[in-house]
Structure 1
């Protein structure tokens, strides 16, 4: 089935309207380390048609899900460094996983070269206003300090981005909450909506409908400035917690040793695609904000993210193997 999906994607890319390839045009394979349909997968699919046109070669998406993205990243690390294989790096694969697992099937720095960040995804801390009737961020911090260990926060599971954001919140504010890990985002958000758990750390895109409906109250967002969709909600930085202000992100990496010319070619193609209105509109519909960085900038970003997540893991004593 996986091979059939691969061939179907290749066929769709190869015969895109108005596109012709040289006989020796080899496909560019992009390994997506998460299942189809998620934000990571949607991000790359939004770019696929544009990249086919710009690069003038087939672009194949290969979903290799499992182990929090580790299976897909290991596949990229083992691939030939010939400029024909890329992987989608995320805050999970190149931030959280290296911080909470002592043994990974890939080295997040040595096995890859950064190509570019594609998008950023703002985060948000929300509360169930019925379960925890606090009026703003300062009120939440005050309540937690007065009631240490009596409030819980939900996450999609141990070692997830939501878990790390929650622990970073605790360390930054000097508060204490009980972590309740669920088996996925669906069960976690459902229990928060039901009032079984009071606090949730999420990406804005998935919580926004519930915030707009008044079922959840947003207290702070991780973003450089206030969001157009939540103009009344301050950023962490505006509240004095700049260390919590980094959003989530998705980007591209290539196997270590990939020629600089090949890396630069792909980075430039992504930058061009991200300027297309149709691509930007499709990403915005998923709560994803086009960014685009140079290979040097993205490689440096990966190092920073790992070090930051390692500090959070050490504080919270998170070790999953």
Structure 2
């Protein structure tokens, strides 16, 4: 008896060919990677709750969650001037699910004043965009014998070493910003470091120290109450809240006209297919009325960059602050 072989079903053959072709090109629908994001995103704040960075992170997280369609959870990992949280993110998987709320300190001044940071401010991260800048303000106590910057500058320049300024601590961003201003203006004032912005401001208000260079976010309540008097601000333009206070650029010191920034960074090696939608979502969130209004209430100005531009900003900051710290012998240790 002769057995006749049946021809394979045509549809069955097509299925086999498609499966082989998919395997050959690495396309396996059942195992395809899910589109980013498919689960909650963590935004690490490397400082304690309550400060400008923490507030800005929580405001951004609320708006960003709507853009991404996934929860954005803020986690505070404070310590070592922000280095603990920054290291945590630098060592995380570069998949877009662990992000850093970086600052002028974590990815700028810390590189200048700490000798053995466990990460590189530029190479260990994928910068995505800044989200805000906070103007710096040079203010004096209300007893200081100057009504404006011109009178202030004339008095300080003719009395080198007589006057003092407070900072939140050795090697902090406001300390280095004041030292940078000193190199540009040629003024000589004595540094008195404190353990935090609060105690520093309190002694300036009390008249124990003559002046302070601080973020406007911290200084504004005391400026409004008349406890301290602003001489100049580091801002792109005069602020509507302080229309009579000049910018450093107006005073002939354009290089001192840079405020402090917050931005979002991911671990190094973030793939383009994650970076692009994440960047777009953050920029969209920054344009929402919610973010703009709450940032303004905190004394901050919304801003966004391309990842390439943000990378250059960080690299330039590290170089600037490192040169300043090296020339001035400034450390935080």
Normalising by structure 1, we get a TM-score of: 0.90
Aligned twin of 1:257: 269
Contact 1:124–1:201 (Cα < 8 Å) also in 2: yes
Match of 1:99 in 2: 112
Whether the 8 Å CA contact 2:161–2:189 is kept in 1: the answer is yes
State the alpha-carbon separation in 2 of the partners of residues 208 and 43 from structure 1. 17
Structure 1 position 159 matched with structure 2 position 171: yes
1:84 alignment partner in structure 2: 97
CA distance in structure 1 between the partners assigned to 2:154 and 2:64 by the alignment: 49
* Corresponding position: 1:144 with 2:149: no
Tell me, yes or no, if structure 1 residue 39 matches structure 2 residue 39: no
Counterparts of 1:160-309 in structure 2 under 5 Å?
Answer: 160-309=172-321
Kindly indicate whether the alpha-carbon contact (under 8 Å) linking 1:192 and 1:198 is maintained by their aligned counterparts in 2.
yes
Residues of 2 paired with 1:30 and 1:198: CA distance?
38
Aligned residues: 299
Structure with greater Cα Rg: 2
RMSD of aligned C-alpha atoms? Answer: 1.5
Give the gaps of 5 or more residues in structure 2: 1-34
Name whichever of 309-318 and 241-250 sits farther off: 309-318
**Cα drift, residue 210 of structure 1:** 1.7
Q: Secondary structure at the match of 1:153?
A: strand
Q: Indicate the SS of the match to 1:192.
A: helix
* Matching residue of 2:18: none
TM-score scaled by structure 2? 0.87
Q: The residue matched to 2:230 in structure 1 has which SS?
A: strand
**Alpha carbons 1:264, 1:295 under 8 Å: kept:** no
What is the distance in 2 between the residues matched to 1:288 and 1:147?
34
Whether contact under 8 Å (1:153, 1:179) holds in the other structure is yes
User: What displacement does 1:213 show?
Assistant: 2.1
Q: Which runs of 5+ in 1 are unaligned?
A: 1-21
Distance in 2 (CA, whole Å) between partners of 1:148 and 1:89 is 36
Q: Are 1:53 and 2:40 matched, yes or no?
A: no
Give the Å deviation of 1:53.
Answer: 1.7
Greater than 6 Å deviation, 4+ residue runs = none
Choose which of 121, 127, 132 in structure 1 pairs with 2:140: 127
Using the TM superposition, give the Cα deviation of residue 148 of structure 1 relative to its aligned residue in structure 2, in angstroms: 1.1
SS of equivalent residue, structure 2 residue 128: strand
Alignment of 1:64-75 (within 5 A): 64-75=77-88
- Kept in 1, the 8 Å contact 2:43–2:72? The answer is yes
Contact 1:121–1:289 at 8 Å: present in 2 too?
Answer: yes
CA-to-aligned-CA distance 1:129-167 (integer Å, 9 cap, x gap): 31x211222222221222111111000110111111111
Structure 1 residue 212: Cα displacement: 2.0
**1:41-62 deviation digits (Å, cap 9, x = unpaired):** 1111102222222111221211
SS in structure 2 at match of 1:235: coil
Q: CA deviation at 1:214?
A: 2.0
